[in-house]
Structure 1
Amino acid sequence: MKRHAMPRKPVLKRPAFWIVLILILIVGGTTIGHQPIKVLFSHQTMTKSKPKPKPKPVKLTPGEKKVAQKYHLSSRATANAHAAKVTAIGDSVMVDITPEMKEVFPHVLINGAVGRQFYDLPNITQSLKAENKLAENVVVNLGTNGPPEKSDISRFLKVVGKKRQVYWINTHVPTQKWEGQTNRLIASTAKSHRNVHVVDWHDLSQNQSAWFAPDEVHLQTKGATAYVGLLAKTMAK
């Protein structure tokens, strides 16, 4: 009679298989720096991350070095400001700081007016855009003469679009009750729009009475320097 061959056990049920596998893992682990098995099989250990290239040093002209020193700016912030194309829209404060703005931002177009309100902003922005004068960076300085309305801000942002960057300078008008309301609305707008950035003049100017004229709103020379320097630093971030 022919003998029937005994059925073979599946490989995974053979003790010898597991013994050999354990030995391979132990030996393999000792030859690769004793790292945990799950790390050895991780994709991250197989590919080394490339170091980030160091930023190239910025060389300033003699004139730019004077600007950097006067406004307490880094070389990079100074170079960025000198190259940036900017449209600045504001009220009488913007009118007052025109010389400083042009010194730090040579390519700035300033549109300022005494007594300007927030509700003027959408139409002014639309006119500048139609004339091809709305740059990739838009600076807004309004709030001295009254608080904004959400509808005016929405109209303005619709005109600006999502590609331009908006740098919104908040307000220092301690004698007016709308100061907090204005600054809260500017902050909430920045939180909900990625291209809107707060330039926190209100915070920087606290307890700096020497920066202001007697009305506590318009700026002396030191205040104008600090104001424009803060803008350049914020835009360089």
Structure 2
Amino acid sequence: MGATDEFYEVFPNSISDTAVSRYTTESFDLYDSYVNEKGWNGDGVIFALGTNGLLYNSLDTLREKIGPERPFFVITARAPYTSWEQSNNAEIYEFVKSTDYTYLIDWYKESEGHSEYFVEDETHLTSEGAQAYINCIKKAVLEVFKK
């Protein structure tokens, strides 16, 4: 949520749907509502959940809903005071590596050692962090769409 304005500056024709403490399993119905009720047919999906709880193997379900060839970008989590950061990121790395048309946005790696990107909880973004976060997304998306 802390980078929504920056997201629209870089991706003005996109949809960003954010909520406080959203769990990954909520994304299924949310995705379906955009496709079935609002007629969305975009060029790809960026999945930015995983800091609020376990992924519960939701990546497979989302990949199936998105379709086998639409680009699916998955962002690693930075949530150092949680018990699931490491397992979620391991699941993301493995999923991206083993799934076609699925791409990594490695926010965990990109933000490593950058305390200036975060407020005291080391998860939520400062304004500098929001810009770095969006640049990380932009770099990964452009790399895929340039090919």
TM value normalised by structure 1: 0.58
- Distance in 1 between residues matched to 2:56 and 2:9, nearest whole Å: 32
What's the counterpart of residue 120 of structure 2? 214
Work out the CA distance in 2 between the residues paired with 1:189 and 1:208.
26
**In structure 1, what is the Cα distance between the partners aligned to 2:110 and 2:69?**
28
- Structure-1 residue corresponding to 2:12: 106
Which one-letter code corresponds to 2:3 in the other structure? I
Q: Give the paired residue count.
A: 142
- Give the conservation status (yes or no) of the 8 Å contact 1:136–1:163: no
Secondary structure at the aligned position of 2:17 is classed as strand
1:202 positional shift:
0.3
Cα pair 1:139 1:169 within 8 Å, conserved: yes
Q: CA deviation at 1:121?
A: 1.5
| Residues 172 and 135 (structure 1), Cα distance of their counterparts in 2 relative to 1, 3 Å cut | same
The TM-score with structure 2 as length reference comes to: 0.92
1:127 and 1:158 mapped to 2: Cα distance?
Answer: 15
Q: Highest CA radius of gyration, 1 or 2?
A: 1
Runs of 4+ in 1 over 2 A off after TM superposition: none
Residue 163 of structure 1: CA displacement?
2.2
Q: Matches of residues 1-237 of structure 1 in structure 2 within 5 Å? A: 95-130=1-36, 131-150=38-57, 152-237=58-143
CA distance in 1, matches of 2:69, 2:35: 13
Structure 1 vs Structure 2 CA RMSD: 1.1
Give CA-to-partner distance per residue, 1:25-71, whole Å, 9 cap, x none.
Answer: xxxxxxxxxxxxxxxxxxxxxxxxxxxxxxxxxxxxxxxxxxxxxxx
Q: Higher RCO, 1 or 2 (CA under 8 Å, sep at least 6)? A: 2
- Quote the sequence identity (%): 28
Q: Deviations over 1:86-143 (max 9, x none)?
A: xxxxxxxxx2111100111111111111010011111111111112224111111111
Label 1:132 to 1:182 Cα distance change in 2 as closer, same or farther (>3 A): same
Q: Contact 1:137/1:164 (CA < 8 Å) preserved in 2?
A: yes
Unaligned stretches of 5+ residues in structure 1: 1-94
* Structure 2: segments with no counterpart, 5+ residues: none
